[in-house]
């Protein structure tokens, strides 16, 4: 396949089609509506299922039903819509059926705005719905990665009977850049052996998240957490840039990671030994890799488009070995490379002491810069 100029939302939708998605249920919400629009045309022309639901609540429960019937199924939404889906996601997790969700994150809380944001990190990575479960979360930093991770999401969801979420932000969803779509995969011809499709010639099956006996629910919870450790062992993904000799490590995912890379390149021309670590799997999170970096480097800077949500996970991994600083632009703002470069230069000039609250220090610096 040739590289084409592709918009992120369209590219993720078509990638899902080519990955063999059999059914799509969604609801319009900016900045992901192009996924729904593309599916509304593409799925019926291929004889597959498309349905615009009455709400995200209904959409996720349609996904739940289709997943129970053994279909390769997905939905897409943006932050407030994903909040509405949390009930259904918890049921899907509890029933151990696979599905894929694309979250094109926008500014919040509340109605917020439609600008790019990473404010859903906690909502998505640390659960969101009730009960004990972990979705797989993948964060693209380019249109190409958005395509590749969407395909991967279907494979991982089915491999582990889990929820796989591609967490993009509004800029990945909306921007156009050259990328290559995969070949069209043939659709599956068989249904999984757990699917509820009518008990023809076999005993009836039940798919449910109910375990009325707490002892059985505990067993189910332990099964989920054991499977999660298996996922954590196999599915950590990240990218490293200029880290071989780096004394300072920037950690950023998605668009924030991509902007930080420009800043790292600029700092390198000034002779600052700085590199970038970009987590791709936000869940499972590359804790061990960051711990290793903390043993080698002298300081770390976490960059996010929120007020420091991944920061908490990075600090957990760093184990207070080296000073951690934070720089974020929340609410739908995207940092410029110069802003991050300024932070790198400051940290190179004046080493930060260990301890304290990096988020509070950032808040004070940002407020000074705004005045």
Residues at the site binding another protein, with contacts judged by CB under 8 A: 22-23, 25, 49, 51, 53-55, 57-59, 61-71, 73, 87-88, 91, 95, 196-201, 204-210
Q: How far is the CB of 221 from another protein (least distance, A)?
A: 18
Q: How far is the CB of 37 from another protein (least distance, A)?
A: 19
Q: In this complex, which beta carbon is closest to another protein, that of residue 19 or of residue 105?
A: 19
The closest of 150, 53, 50 to 99, measured between CA atoms, is: 150
Alpha helices in 161-201 (DSSP H): 170-174
Q: How far is CA 6 from CA 18, 170, 172, 265, in A?
A: 15, 15, 11, 26
Q: In this complex, which beta carbon is closest to another protein, that of residue 56 or of residue 103?
A: 56
Q: In this complex, which beta carbon is closest to another protein, that of residue 203 or of residue 349?
A: 203
Q: In this complex, which beta carbon is closest to another protein, that of residue 98 or of residue 358?
A: 98
Q: How far is the CB of 112 from another protein (least distance, A)?
A: 23
Q: In this complex, which beta carbon is closest to another protein, that of residue 206 or of residue 370?
A: 206
- DSSP three-state, residue 236: coil
Residue 137 to residue 238: CA distance in whole angstroms: 12
Give Cα 104 to chain centroid, integer Å. Answer: 9
Q: In this complex, which beta carbon is closest to another protein, that of residue 92 or of residue 282?
A: 92
Joined together, the tokens standing for residue 211 give 């375990």
Q: How far is the CB of 202 from another protein (least distance, A)?
A: 8
Q: In this complex, which beta carbon is closest to another protein, that of residue 64 or of residue 133?
A: 64
Beta carbons within 8 Å of 133's beta carbon, 6+ residues apart: 90, 93, 94, 127, 163, 224
Instruction: Give residue 74's region: left, alpha or beta (phi > 0; psi -120 to 50).
Output: beta
Residue 40 to residue 97: CA distance in whole angstroms: 24
- DSSP three-state, residue 27: coil
Residue 183 DSSP label: P
Q: What is the DSSP string of 91-133?
A: HHHHHT--EEEEEEEBS-STT--SSB--TTHHHHHT--SSSS-
Q: In this complex, which beta carbon is closest to another protein, that of residue 29 or of residue 67?
A: 67
Q: Is 241 exposed, middle or buried (0-12, 13-18, 19+ CB in 10 A)?
A: middle
Question: How many C-beta neighbours within 10 Å does residue 98 have?
Answer: 23
Tracing tokens 């061990």 back to the chain, one arrives at: 288
Q: In this complex, which beta carbon is closest to another protein, that of residue 50 or of residue 277?
A: 50
Q: In this complex, which beta carbon is closest to another protein, that of residue 201 or of residue 355?
A: 201
Q: How far is the CB of 104 from another protein (least distance, A)?
A: 22
Q: How far is the CB of 206 from another protein (least distance, A)?
A: 5
Q: How far is the CB of 21 from another protein (least distance, A)?
A: 11
Q: How far is the CB of 44 from another protein (least distance, A)?
A: 12
Q: How far is the CB of 195 from another protein (least distance, A)?
A: 9
Residue 222 to residue 200: CA distance in whole angstroms: 32
Give the E-state strand segments of 297-345 in sequence order: 299-304, 324-328
Tracing tokens 């999170």 back to the chain, one arrives at: 285
Q: How far is the CB of 157 from another protein (least distance, A)?
A: 16
């Amino acid at each position: 396949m040739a590289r084409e100029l592709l918009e992120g939302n369209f590219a993720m939708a078509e990638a899902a089609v080519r990955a063999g998605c059999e059914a799509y249920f969604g609801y319009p919400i900016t900045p992901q509506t192009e996924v729904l629009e593309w599916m509304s045309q593409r799925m019926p022309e291929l004889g597959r299922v498309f349905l615009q639901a009455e709400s995200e609540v209904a959409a996720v429960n349609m996904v739940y039903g289709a997943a129970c019937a053994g279909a390769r199924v997905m939905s897409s939404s943006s932050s407030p819509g994903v909040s509405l889906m949390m009930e259904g996601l918890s049921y899907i997790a509890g029933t151990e059926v696979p599905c894929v969700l694309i979250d094109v994150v926008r500014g919040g809380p509340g109605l917020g705005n439609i600008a790019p944001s990473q404010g859903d990190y906690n909502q998505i990575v640390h659960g969101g719905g009730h009960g004990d479960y972990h979705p797989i979360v993948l964060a693209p930093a380019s249109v190409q990665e958005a395509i590749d991770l969407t395909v991967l999401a279907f494979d991982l969801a089915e491999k582990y009977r889990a929820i796989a979420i591609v967490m993009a932000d509004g800029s990945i969803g909306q921007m156009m850049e050259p990328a290559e779509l995969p070949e069209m995969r043939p659709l599956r011809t068989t249904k999984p052996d757990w699917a509820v499709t009518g008990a023809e010639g076999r005993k009836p099956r039940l798919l449910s998240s109910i375990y009325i006996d707490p002892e059985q629910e505990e067993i189910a919870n332990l099964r989920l957490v054991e499977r999660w450790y298996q996922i954590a062992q196999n599915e950590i993904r990240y990218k490293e840039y200029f880290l071989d000799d780096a004394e300072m490590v920037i950690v950023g995912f998605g668009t924030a990671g991509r902007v930080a890379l420009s800043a790292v390149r600029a700092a390198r021309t000034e002779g600052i030994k700085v590199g970038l670590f970009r987590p791709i799997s936000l869940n499972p999170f590359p804790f061990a890799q960051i711990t290793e970096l903390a043993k080698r480097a002298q300081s770390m800077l976490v960059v996010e488009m929120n007020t420091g949500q991944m920061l908490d996970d990075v600090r957990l991994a760093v184990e207070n070995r080296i000073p951690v600083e934070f720089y974020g632009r929340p609410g739908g703002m995207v940092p410029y490379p110069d802003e991050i470069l300024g932070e790198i230069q400051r940290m190179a000039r004046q080493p930060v002491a260990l301890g304290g609250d990096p988020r509070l220090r950032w808040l004070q610096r940002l407020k000074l810069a705004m005045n």
